[in-house]
Amino acid sequence: MQTALITGSAGGIGVALCRAFRSAGYRTVGLDIELAGADCDAFIEMDLERFCIDEQYRSAAKTQLITEMDSATLRVLVNNAAVQILGDSSKLTVATWQKTLHVNVLAPFFLSQTLLEHLEHTGGSIVNIASIHASLTKPGFVAYATSKAALVGLTRTMAVALGGVSGSTPFVQRL
């Protein structure tokens, strides 16, 4: 049975992703800061901001990920988790920016990096969930929109580096 690891599995989109992958025959492993609401076969509790900034936490989390994942079956990593801290540009703090960028951009990169060898072994895929706010946004979304635009850029460059595709192919789409 193929496995899909889905971050942000306790939120609305995450729950729907877990259900969709399960109905397609995948074993689903959810990853979120808390279990409440998750609908998956297995669950890993993880704080993605801490994963980005605390080396000891990241090391322990990597061990937990590798232990939970059957490397022979990991087929999909879905980087869905995100924080959406809204606010007027004049009032956003350094802490707000850091949390947004850690969870929405750096965590997908570091999780991809951690699981890349396993995904390459199975011919797997990485799916990064962006937002319409990456290109069309509205007031109050400056940190979130910026982070999602960065995630689109990260996805594009990783696709070119890892998949050998050009940046103009439809392989990388804004979701």
Q: Is residue 172 part of a domain?
A: no
Q: Is residue 149 part of a domain?
A: yes
Q: Is residue 169 part of a domain?
A: no
Q: State the pTM of this model.
A: 0.90
| CATH number, domain with residue 11 | 3.40.50.720
Which residue in the list 101, 144, 148, 149 is annotated as catalytic?
Answer: 144
Q: Is residue 132 part of a domain?
A: yes
Sheet holding 74-79, edge to edge: 42-45, 27-32, 3-7, 74-79, 125-128
Per-residue pLDDT of the chain (175 residues; tens, 9 = 90+): 899 999 999 999 999 999 999 999 999 999 999 887 778 999 999 999 999 999 999 999 999 998 887 666 899 999 999 999 999 999 999 999 999 999 999 999 999 999 999 999 899 999 999 999 999 999 999 999 999 999 999 999 999 998 755 444 433 433 3
Domain residues for the domain of 141 are 3-163
Q: Is residue 99 part of a domain?
A: yes
Domains identified in the chain, total number: 1
Q: Is 26 an active-site residue?
A: no
Q: Is residue 170 part of a domain?
A: no
Q: Is residue 168 part of a domain?
A: no
Say how far apart CA 47 and CA 50 lie, in whole Å.
Answer: 5
Q: Is residue 68 part of a domain?
A: yes
